[in-house]
Amino acid sequence: MRIEIVAVGTELLLGQIADTNSQWLGEHLAALGVASHFHQAVGDNHDRIVLALRTALARSDGIIVCGGLGPTHDDITRDAIAEVMNVPLVRDEDVVAKIRTMFSSRGREMPESNLRQADVPNGAAIIVQTKGTAPGLICPVGHKVVYAVPGVPYEMSDMFERAIAPDLQKRMAERGEIEGTIVSRVIRTWGMSESGLGETLAEYIATQDDDAAAGTVAGTATVAFLASGIEGIKVRVTVRSADEDTAMALLDEHEAEVRAILTAAAGDVVFGIDDEAIEDAVARALATDGLTLGLAESLTGGLAASRLVNVPGASSWFRGSVVSYASEVKFDVLGVPVGPVVSEDAARAMADGARRVLGSDVGLSITGVAGPAEQDGQPVGTVFVGLARPGHDTEAFGFNVPGDRARVRQYATIAALDLLRRNLG
């Protein structure tokens, strides 16, 4: 089953918004084992939408067309589908009643233009709308199919999961096609470069069958790398299998192998899986040790604190942060000795100060040079991290990170939180 995605909207062509719907649909079609060999975007123009749909029907088994179902004059996807089906639009009285009810229950007058959303190509089935006013459509075109969904992301994803995914699975079963499912897992790392990860995993990747690049051989994995700033460097492992349970078991094996290779080469570089961010790893490590945390941030200006409070329940272990951007705040509030503030000594004094001022078990500090100019004789990208904790001398760690102001801050934050994670638990 090959499904082409057609996104409708002039704003997509003009680059005014990113086409996140096609990305979402591509990911979810792949998870169902549905091939999607082409995507298209087209503007709010009747003839060009018709041409895009005909092009897609010629090279695919079906289409998901996204957008252009609303009430205004430039919502013309319904008309274009009716032309491709060669049928008239028919007003659906059930949908009319539903739209009228929706307006009256909110005590609002319904503009007549809203009834355009009840016009349905003759022969199409309706995907009932639960979150907005425009219904979705399932439109037969010969032995092929055109699904139409609104462009509002949460209406689109709701209709896909509730109606389109089950319909696709039924069609695939009828065609005797169980193409299987494609699932991915992200292994998040910090401490190796992207090329270092690539070289370390080169032999493992080479043992995967070449055909895996096309996702056609069950059990083999495809591996991709993605440097993601404060989210770490991601290793994405993708496998294909007949069913999700088997695919998940395969992913478990591949994850274990990747972890073993990376650990043997570079130690504890894996900090999380999929959506687990560095702050989640820090929260786990602190909970394991039963410790509270206070920060002193100069370079990162509150960025590390703002990440830590993302973790639900952070209030049980996170005390706060002294964002000591001005040197005087370092001296007066944190008790840093007057002198260069981009230094190991300052980092240690800041960590001790954070612990004392905020009353935490652990103090973590970050100082350095974000740029554009050097400071205290240190070049842009210089970072010093201080770590104060019970039963240990206060330590400092120095390193350099690349990039502009924003990237220096991101790298410094993840590097400092990763240092903390590795020194706990």
Query: Interface residues for its own copies in 338-367 (CB under 8 A)?
Result: 357-359
| Strand pairing report for 221-227 and 119-121 | unpaired
* Region of 149-157, 169-177, 270-278, 294-302 interacting with its own copies (CB under 8 A): 294-302
Query: In the set 53, 57, 323, 364, which binds its own copies (CB under 8 A)?
Result: 323
Query: In the set 200, 306, 394, 400, which binds its own copies (CB under 8 A)?
Result: 306
Amino acid at 357: V
Give the nearer residue to its own copies in terms of CB position, either 255 or 297.
Answer: 297
- Residue of 222, 405, 195 whose CA lies nearest to 301: 405
Distance CA 223, CA 201 (A): 9
Q: Is 19 in the site for its own copies (CB under 8 A)?
A: yes
Query: In the set 117, 133, 220, 321, which binds its own copies (CB under 8 A)?
Result: 321
Q: Count CA within 13 A, CB hemisphere, residue 361.
A: 13
Task: Give the CA distances from residue 58 to residues 4, 36, 70, 141, in Å, rounded to whole numbers and listed in that order.
Answer: 10, 14, 27, 11
Q: Which of residues 171-230 bind its own copies (CB under 8 A)?
A: 182, 184, 213-214, 224, 226
* Region of 30-38, 81-89, 143-151, 162-170 interacting with its own copies (CB under 8 A): 30-38
Site size with its own copies, rule: CB under 8 A = 78
Please answer whether residues 363 and 423 qualify as being in contact, where contact means their C-beta atoms are separated by less than 8 angstroms.
Answer: no
CB of 358 to its own copies, least distance (A): 6
Query: How many other C-beta atoms lie within 10 A of the C-beta of residue 150?
Result: 27
Task: Give the contact letters, 378-417, x = binds to its own copies (CB under 8 A), - = no.
Answer: ---------------------------xx--x--------
Query: In the set 326, 339, 374, 392, which binds its own copies (CB under 8 A)?
Result: 326
Place of tokens 């961010």: 277
Q: Name the strand (E) or helix (H) holding 112.
A: none
CB of 122 to its own copies, least distance (A): 28
Which of helix, strand or coil describes residue 240?
strand
Distance CA 131, CA 151 (A): 12
* Region of 43-51, 62-70, 119-127, 380-388 interacting with its own copies (CB under 8 A): 43-51
* Region of 7-15, 109-117, 144-152, 379-387 interacting with its own copies (CB under 8 A): 7-15
Q: Which of residues 106-165 bind its own copies (CB under 8 A)?
A: none
CB of 162 to its own copies, least distance (A): 19
Task: Give the contact letters, 51-90, x = binds to its own copies (CB under 8 A), - = no.
Answer: xx--x---x--------------x----------------
- CB-neighbour burial class of residue 392 (10 A; exposed 0-12, middle 13-18, buried 19+): exposed
Give the nearer residue to its own copies in terms of CB position, either 312 or 402.
Answer: 312
* Region of 93-101, 103-111, 307-315, 336-344 interacting with its own copies (CB under 8 A): 307-315
Cα angle at 145 between 141 and 151, to 5 degrees? 120
* Region of 14-22, 123-131, 145-153, 161-169 interacting with its own copies (CB under 8 A): 14-22
Distance CA 405, CA 412 (A): 11
Please answer whether residues 108 and 86 qualify as being in contact, where contact means their C-beta atoms are separated by less than 8 angstroms.
Answer: no
Task: Give the CA distances from residue 267 to residues 131, 189, 305, 425, in Å, rounded to whole numbers and listed in that order.
Answer: 48, 11, 27, 15
